[in-house]
Amino acid sequence: MTTASLGTTTRSKDGVAKIILYAVLVLGLLVVVGPFLWMVLSSFKPEADIRSVPPTWWPETFTLGNYRDLFARLDFPQYFFNSALVAALVTAGNLLFCSMLGYALAKLSFPGRKTLFLLVLGMLMVPGMATFVPQFVLVSNLGMANSYAGLILPFLAGPFGVFLMRQFLQSIPDDLIEAARVDGAGEWRIFFRIVLPLCKPALATLGILTFLSSWNNFLWPLVVATTEDKYTLPVALALYSVGQNQTFYGLLLAGAVVVVVPVLIVFLVLQRHFLRGIATTGLK
Amino acid sequence: MTAVQEKAAGEVPLRDTPAPDRRRWRRAVTGWAFAAPFTVLFVVFSALPVVAALVLSLTDLRSTDLRNPFAVNFVGFDNYTKLFSDELFLKSAGNTLIFVLVGVPLTMVIALAAATGLNSGLLRFKALFRVGFYLPAVTSIVAIAVIWRFLLDPEAGLLNNLLSLIGIDGPNWLGDSSTALPSLIAMSAWRNFGFLMVIFLAGLQGIPGDLYEAATIDGAGRWQQFRSITLPLLRPTLLFGAVVTGIGYLQLFEEPFVMTQGGPLNSTLSVSYHIYNQFGFGNYGYAAAASYVLFVAIVGLSVLQFRLLGSRED
């Protein structure tokens, strides 16, 4: 076999492999993204068209009725506000408290530091399902059942954030901090003026991850929020869809769109950052 | 001792450099000032409940006792014995086990296939595929449930309508006790493979290209390269993925809650769902015991998987 013919066979082999690869991946993409497209498109269909057999893709008659119903029949602005408030405060709290402890663990020496780090690491393993009963007993004994405090406080201090911030802070050279100390800067000044600005990539990753998990959190708000004015979006949507109202499919689809779209925007804008964070930290 | 030495040397400490004792004290105060806010919240709302769960599981606390703590009795391991003679718990444990044993390999195979495809030098528009495949993982499970209930609807659903095109009369996926659990497993694999794919992709990109070049020169085919280079070098990443996915699936709750409410005939009742139900009935002590069993299972799974997959490397 001459080199020339070898070259052409590899090239044509590559061509076939390429076609198969694209075919499989595009099919996969359709299977994954297709249902989302269908959800968005169907939320603009009238009730009868959603349930039509066989199912259709494009809305024949375009309507905003489902979205109007969402606001007319359910208190969606309230649920949206609750979700946004909880997610924003949980995210802000985690960014501040986790980076503070991360800084202490990585750059300051104090008695009990190692024990504290081991405790945080150990808690990374504990599943939410194992602690939610005593957590609920505690929160209701503190008088925080069905309150924003009850929804927010248990999530302000997550072990994952500390782990992430500590790992990142260890890569910041000690000399930099030492130099600032020599110049007479206090620890708080060093932390806010020098350390935090250097942590932007880690803070961004932690911020997105925390916001997403809070926005999508389900079990805890389901248990803690007992009156409608404290429901978060997922809780409202779930209780509405597993209740007696199963026939209002249009409403459910529009609700799902409202839950998904803000996250989708955050994710699409920041996905580069986000996926890199996932890949390097390996945690949701 | 240092203080004595300093005195002996006749040094007068400067105003700005406090004595070592005071400096150590100040360092401890600063350190704890940074650590305190997190630690207080963490101990109260996370660490304490872990201990409390164990204590709680040894009591007969019910929701009605919350205002009267004196009504609570320590019942020893009663809750645990009750648990293992409770048919519903055993059923839920069996369902959860099936979910983990089928779901983890299924999710991993799809994720690895997708990651290998995306890692190929032949492919363009990689970001598009990556973002698309990851999409379900950032979506609220409740929204996903809404979508999937339509997909799996026996009459109007997309899946059965596609099946009817090739002459198959599709089953009532979520309404039949033999297909409900498999449907949830498929949905979870669909939802979670993108997360694993991103991790696997990072692992694949860490494998040096020289190895593949050398193998190609030696005449190894693609499949052979995958088996003798990719898989062994990716083992730590695969192990990590298996543990994380297994832990997630052991806690299965949201999928059955929003899709099937544990039915039909308890065929999708999971351990977490059982805990949630018992909690709802007010049986706090019993629910805490079930939680602890789940907790131990999760720790056990991690240890087991590390042993099994880790030992092969040695």
Domain with residues B78-309, CATH architecture? Orthogonal Bundle (1.10)
Residue with tokens 């408290």, as numbered in its chain: A97
- For B261, other C-beta atoms within 10 Å of its C-beta total 13
ipTM (interface pTM) = 0.85
Q: What is the largest CA-CA distance in chain A?
A: 83
For an interface test with B, give the residue of A33, A129, A226 to mutate (most B CBs within 10 A). Answer: A129
Could you give the C-alpha distances from A153 to A132, A236, A244, B243, in angstroms and in order? 13, 21, 33, 29
Cα separation of A225 and A223, whole Å?
Answer: 6
- B123-155 pLDDT, tens digit each: 888 888 988 999 999 899 989 988 998 889 888
Per-residue pLDDT of chain B (314 residues; tens, 9 = 90+): 444 444 444 444 455 555 678 888 888 899 999 999 999 999 999 999 999 899 999 998 888 777 776 778 888 899 999 999 999 999 999 999 999 999 999 999 999 999 999 998 888 888 889 889 999 998 999 899 889 988 898 888 888 888 988 988 889 999 999 999 999 999 999 999 999 999 999 899 888 888 898 998 988 888 899 999 999 999 888 988 998 899 999 999 999 998 998 889 999 999 999 999 999 999 999 999 999 999 999 888 878 877 776 655 44
Decide if B225 touches A, using CB distance below 8 A.
no
Mean pLDDT of the region A221-241: 90
Cβ <8 Å between A53 and B161: yes
Cβ <8 Å between B131 and A136: no
For an interface test with A, give the residue of B24, B44, B46 to mutate (most A CBs within 10 A). Answer: B46
**Per the structure block, which two tokens stand in for A245?**
């109202």
Cα separation of B56 and B170, whole Å?
Answer: 47
A36, A129, A271 ranked by CB distance to B253: nearest: A129
Show me where the domains of chain B are located: 78-309
Q: Cis peptide before B264, with omega less than 30 degrees from 0?
A: yes
CA count, 13 A, side-chain hemisphere, B240: 18
B127, B133, B151 ranked by CB distance to A35: nearest: B151
Confidence of residue A267 (pLDDT cuts 50, 70, 90): confident
At residue B218, what are phi and psi to the nearest 5 degrees? -75, -5
pLDDT, position A82: 96
- A104-148 pLDDT, tens digit each: 999 998 999 999 999 998 888 788 888 888 999 899 989 999 999
Burial class (CB in 10 A: 0-12, 13-18, 19+), A128: middle
Show me where the domains of chain A are located: 3-42, 65-280
3-state SS class at B74: strand
In the A/B pair of chains, how many CB contacts fall below 8 A?
271
B34, B130, B147 ranked by CB distance to A108: nearest: B34
Sign of CA dihedral A243, A249, A251, A257: positive
- B101-123 pLDDT, tens digit each: 999 999 999 999 999 999 988 88
Could you give the C-alpha distances from B275 to A139, A243, B46, B251, in angstroms and in order? 18, 21, 19, 10
Residue of A nearest to B34 (CA): A100
Q: Measured between beta carbons, which residues in chain A are less than 8 angstroms from residue B245?
A: none
Written out in words, the top-level CATH class of the domain with range A65-280 is mainly alpha
Q: What predicted TM-score, i.e. pTM, was given to this entire model? A: 0.87
N residues, chain B? 314
In contact, B145 and B213? CB cutoff 8 Å? no
Cβ <8 Å between A264 and B201: no
